[in-house]
Amino acid sequence: MSNAAAARWTFAPNAEVTLEANPDDITPALATDLRSAGATRLSLGAQTFDDALLKLLSRRHDSRRIGEAVRTARAAGFENLSLDLIIGLPRQTLAGCEADLRAALDLRPDHLSVYCLIVEPGTPLERMIAEGDVPAPDDDLAADMLQRAIDVLGAAGYERYEISNWARAEPGRDFRSRHNLKYWLGEPYIGLGAGAHSYYAGRRYGNVARPLEYARRLEAGEPAVAVSEPIDRELAMGEALMVGLRLIAGVERTRFRTRFGVDLAEAFSAQIAELEALGLVELTPERLALTERGLFLGNEVFGRFLPKTK
């Protein structure tokens, strides 16, 4: 993003402009340019501070580079900084997970995302696991790591506001990720660029994935949208619970009723009753939220609210 390109856009005075970056990409010149162009928040993909695991993940940076990137971003004027960590990595131990958390805390980020590893099909990691070169993820160990993150980050003054996200608690400041909150609250958003997705006016859109094809279409005056699908009321209600329950506060019944004209306890009475019996959700007069147990078993909950495919 250049200053000239950014000058074409007008932002609200308190707008949050987030950029995601790899630690090895953040140089003093780039950080200064990004901040001057209007970026207010930087999210760095640290993943882990274990150099052997970074190499296993084919990451270009090492642990030293993470700290350098944070200090460079701060020097450029970024006052809202987030770090992404991954837990449940092959060969990662519980002690190693805690070491990652404490190394991240030493850098004093304003926000932390701690995601459980997902082995994507077709990736080198999937192949290494299939060939026995590295062990498969251990779900029980990953759950222990998540609990360690809850304990360590909570003790350090970070508020867990979503299953995988924590924000530094500071009076008068809100470091929660605004763009992610829009997804979890089911609010409309517009994605610009190759591979970007949007949701507004009851439809979901996806742009063409290849940057060169995206640019060609724009230059030719052709639509860059590759996917456009309507989201009917039944699906929208299910997705509102699927994503909204990721929030620690859960889904507000008043908000749901205002949006859909029906109380969520009425629309999903059977699903909620079953999940309550399993100890995974709690329904109060104000909201539906995951229980402490449900926060570890969210995937057992979310899909139950989606309509069955015909």
Q: Parse the chain into domains and list their residue ranges.
A: 3-176, 185-230, 244-305
Confidence band for 310, pLDDT divided at 50, 70 and 90: low
- By the 8 A CB rule, do 256 and 238 touch? no
In degrees and rounded to multiples of 5, residue 189 shows phi and psi of -150, 155
pLDDT tens-digit readout, 77-88: 999 999 999 999
Q: 165-168 and 111-116: which strand pairing?
A: antiparallel
Instruction: Examine domains 3-176 and 244-305 and report if their fold is the same.
Output: no
0.85 exceeded by pTM: yes
pLDDT (0 to 100) of residue 4? 60
In percent, the amount of the chain with pLDDT more than 70 equals 96
pLDDT digits (tens, 9 = 90+) for 175-215: 999 999 999 999 999 888 899 999 999 999 999 999 999 99
Q: What is the pLDDT of residue 170?
A: 87
In the CATH hierarchy, which fold is given to the domain comprising 3-176? Transcription Regulator spoIIAA (3.30.750)
Please give the average per-residue pLDDT across 260-279, as a whole number. Answer: 97
Q: What is the pLDDT of residue 241?
A: 97
- Sheet of 251-252: strands edge to edge? 251-252, 287-290, 281-283
Provide long-range contacts, Cβ within 8 A and 24+ apart, for 277-281.
Answer: 281/245
CATH no. for 244-305 = 1.10.10
